[in-house]
Amino acid sequence: MSKTKKSKKMEKVKISGGLLVALGVLLLDQISKVFIVWWLGSAPGNIVRVTGFFNLRLAYNRGISFSMMTSDHHLAQVLILVMVAVIVGGLVYWLRRESNPHTRVALWMIIGGAIGNVIDRVRIGAVIDFLDFHLYDRHWPTFNVADSAIFIGAAIIVYWSMKEHARKK
């Protein structure tokens, strides 16, 4: 097999493996949201206390991260969808040029999480959140599986970027 054919075949393997990561994140996110709404009911604020620091609490986020820019206005929702589309487009552009396999997996995780949240926005006009960590009466903003994948993906990118920077010194 020529070197060109071999590299094209490896690129297809990288893409298909990455798509599986994104699809896995997307499925886990959507299945968890369907389960939570089924279990807790669709009214926001329904709570199940799991531990002294963790609850399952149904919330609908009409804003962006940590409910910033929250609005019921249709134009705000369209603006958020456009922003997410541009960001995902940028991630795909980065992905096509990235050679570090850890960073590639992390980018696919972020893309899968972003698409999971976009599906909610298109389907119901808000993102379903339900993971509620707290210390006494101080609550971290409620989040979901897609948000977790986005955060973990970003943390992986930062870690490998720092490791690569330290290696070059």
- Give the residue extent of every domain in the chain: 3-168
If you write DSSP's letter for every residue of 81-94 in order, what string do you get? HHHHHHHHHHHHHH
DSSP symbol at 142: P
Terminal-to-terminal C-alpha distance of the chain = 38
CA–CA separation, 145 and 113 (whole Å): 7
CA–CA separation, 61 and 127 (whole Å): 5
pTM for this model (two decimals): 0.83
Catalytic pick from 29, 120, 129, 132? 129
The better pLDDT of the pair 95, 72 is held by 95
List the Cα angle 99/102/103 in 5-degree steps.
65
Q: Is 14 helix (H, G, I), strand (E, B) or coil?
A: helix
pLDDT at 134 over 70: yes
The two three-digit tokens of residue 70, written as one number? 């929250």
Averaged over 116-145, what is the pLDDT? 94
129 in catalytic set:
yes
Catalytic pick from 29, 120, 132, 147? 147
What would the pLDDT profile of 87-121 be if each residue is shown by its tens digit? Answer: 999 999 999 999 999 999 999 999 999 999 999 99
137 in catalytic set:
no
